[in-house]
Structure 1
Amino acid sequence: MLKVDLHCHSNVSDGVLAPPAVAAYARKGGVDVWALTDHDEVGGIRAARAAAAELGMRFVAGVEISVTWANQTVHVVGLQLDENNRALIDGLAATRAGREARAREISAQLEQAGIPGAYEGALRYVANPDLVSRTHFARYLCELGICSTTSEVFRKYLTEGKPGYVPHRWATLSEAMGWIRGAGGIPVIAHPGRYKFDATAEGALFDEFRQLGGNTIEVVTGSHTPDQYATYAEIARRYGFLASRGTDFHAPGEARVEFAQLPPLPSSVTPVWHDWF
């Protein structure tokens, strides 16, 4: 059975490793088919594709686009896309705009909470200056010893209602799916179990996604708890969605599940890659 991982990040967005190093780490974990899906950025795909070829892995070009839906941030992964598509490139550039201003506001709020110099500290973890993210701040606060894990930083400082939370208006769901589909790609709702929607709102998200031409959700992902694998497998069957799988890897030791430990999709769902090879 092929081990497929279709959700992964490098230091081109908020990961730690360069794309070739992520490829090597994935291969070491037994991955046969691998996608790089950096946040709002396709600049790492060329290096990732070359590294995957050298390692004997099949490669899938991807991206993870930040979307504002019902006043929350939702992520839509695009798979099997043309990273040179001009509309996609321009759309992602527009989505990235405003990250620096948000980062400076996060830093100002953290300073008010007694943590000065967070912007400069976060920049030490940034490889792509267009993509300063909350994860970079989280790593810096861990470096300071304020929290022991990035998840703890998010809980205490970087989510809604906490002292370092700054909202940002991302792309619309329609825009993101238009860029992905226009580039020949497959839109996927990333880690649906991570969003704080009630059942009605979640159903509305899936309905709009389907109306816009979407037919795939992540079922097994490092951002889901094990019990959510079964929950979203059932939702995939109910909606007629295909299922995707991926670690949501950002850094060794930082993910909930490493490449080698992520379980396969349940046999009750149809993998999004069922007709790719």
Structure 2
Amino acid sequence: MAGEGRGRKTRKKGSKKKGTPDHALAAKYIKDWAFRSDSSAGEFLPWRDEKMLFEFHCHSNRSDGFLSPKAVVERAHRNGVKILALTDHDTMEGVSEASAAARKLGIRLIPGVEISCIFTHSSGAEESVHLLAYYSSYGPSPHEELGKTLSTIREGRYLRARDMLKKLSNLKMPIEWDHLAKIAGDGVAPGRLHVARAMVEASYVGDLKQAFSSYLYDGGPAYSTGSEPPAEEVVKLVCRTGGISALAHPWSLKNSVPVIRSLASSGLHAMEVYRWDGKMTVFGDLADSLGLLKIGGSDYHGRKTQVESDLGSINLPIMAMVGFLRLARPRWFEAIQETIRSFVEDPSITKLERLWGFGDEKYKAKMAMLSPNEAIKLSLNSWLSPEELDSPEIRDLSQKLQSVIIREDA
């Protein structure tokens, strides 16, 4: 989706003036959380300079982006991003690869996802809504609930894509399914951007912008709906599974105020409002009035044929990051406890693997060589503060872990 400030390539530094007490305390708060290593000694990852760039919204080729998750992280690192959330559409499949790359480069990766939803107005009119969800390194808890929802949405995307191709064929613009699937990539549910790319390659349109503006826009002649759940229910789902929910690009909504008010009453935590220049869109005052956190992200896809905001180009103030973490960390802490508790109560191999969160195969192999207690302590060290690690809840769970016997899955 297009956002405000598109076409700007210049990357800005943090907008908060440096050298002030508030800035120093904010920087320390962020560093103390974001740059802990996963070593048992509690070491900190290197902090090479004082720039504070955060990226809350970007995509890889696991959905409709052009770059691999690893390449997204590498580009973010080159741009000076310190904290990065990968938010592919309706999937978290790219998070493990991104996490591995982030650990090597000293970037803190927040596992995220952009969830496709539908909002129904009081008039009965429907419009597409995208919600961002941010989780701890252990992911949602329980894992199954969000996973089933995302799977249903992805299945609906396949049906939706076939319907769009049927409509394009009726418009004398036939596209073969195999060609669309090749553009999307193995295991990736095709989206509108993939259809747009196919239209460009077939020379039906001059560029992606024309594909959307003439055919694929909401309600357009080649538009089709999928199996998106109600937006209010998704907000509640994210809350239930230990995540932080945020409304993506509210400026793209046709009738934004009723949507935002309804989602806020359902438990929405945040909304994108910051632009590339650090200024807020017109939604800043509404966010304040509803008690929503104000965040922002580039919505980077790595498009080669269209200028877009680059990773880290949204000038998010450091205090916005502090506000986000102060809300998120207690929720993530509770979700992490729930994941460990679930394993203690039913110590199966499947649940053991979930304790490694979004680690890649190499990381999981490293953890598998340790006892559950040692491995959990090691992985928690990179995500929790010393105070959280020493909390009665974690100490109690650690004690219980010492006596667990892992069983084979049925």
Same fold (TM over 0.5): yes
**Within the alignment, does 1:92 sit opposite 2:150 as a pair?**
yes
More helix by percentage: 2
- Give the whole-Å Cα distance in 1 for the aligned partners of 2:218 and 2:200: 20
Equivalence for 1:219: 273
Which segment is superposed worse, 94-103 or 16-25?
94-103
Is the Cα contact below 8 Å between 1:118 and 1:140 reproduced in 2? no
C-alpha RMSD over aligned residues: 2.5
Equivalence for 1:102: 160
Question: So what's the TM-score if we normalise by structure 1?
Answer: 0.87
Q: Structure 2: which amino acid aligns with 1:24?
A: E
Q: Structure 2: which amino acid aligns with 1:66?
A: S
Unaligned ranges ≥5, structure 1: none
Q: Structure 1: which amino acid aligns with 2:95?
A: I
Match of 1:59 among 96, 104, 109: 109
Q: Cα–Cα, structure 1 residues 110 and 189, in superposed 2: closer, same or farther, change >3 Å?
A: same
Larger RCO, structure (CA 8 Å, separation 6 or more): 2
Equivalence for 2:281: 230
Equivalence for 1:36: 86
Unaligned ranges ≥5, structure 2: 1-13, 15-51, 121-125, 330-384, 386-410
Equivalence for 1:203: 257
Q: How many residues align?
A: 269
Alignment of 1:120-199 (within 5 A): 120-197=178-255
- Give the whole-Å Cα distance in 1 for the aligned partners of 2:93 and 2:307: 23
Q: Cα–Cα, structure 1 residues 37 and 160, in superposed 2: closer, same or farther, change >3 Å?
A: closer
Which segment is superposed worse, 133-142 or 145-154?
145-154
Is the Cα contact below 8 Å between 2:60 and 2:88 reproduced in 1? yes
Deviations 1:86-119 (A, max 9, x none): 1111111112222222111111111121211253
Q: Cα–Cα, structure 1 residues 221 and 104, in superposed 2: closer, same or farther, change >3 Å?
A: farther
- Give the whole-Å Cα distance in 2 for the aligned partners of 1:233 and 1:104: 39
Q: Structure 2: which amino acid aligns with 1:236?
A: A
**Within the alignment, does 1:76 sit opposite 2:149 as a pair?**
no
**Within the alignment, does 1:246 sit opposite 2:266 as a pair?**
no
Paired residue secondary structure (1:97): helix
Task: Extract structure 1 runs of 4+ deviating beyond 6 A.
Answer: none
Deviations 1:42-73 (A, max 9, x none): 11111111111111111101011111002111
| Higher radius of gyration, 1 or 2 | 2
Identity %: 28
- Give the whole-Å Cα distance in 2 for the aligned partners of 1:55 and 1:34: 12
Is the Cα contact below 8 Å between 1:244 and 1:272 reproduced in 2? no
Equivalence for 1:258: 310
Deviation at residue 188 of structure 1 after TM alignment:
0.3
Deviation at residue 207 of structure 1 after TM alignment:
2.2
Deviation at residue 175 of structure 1 after TM alignment:
2.6
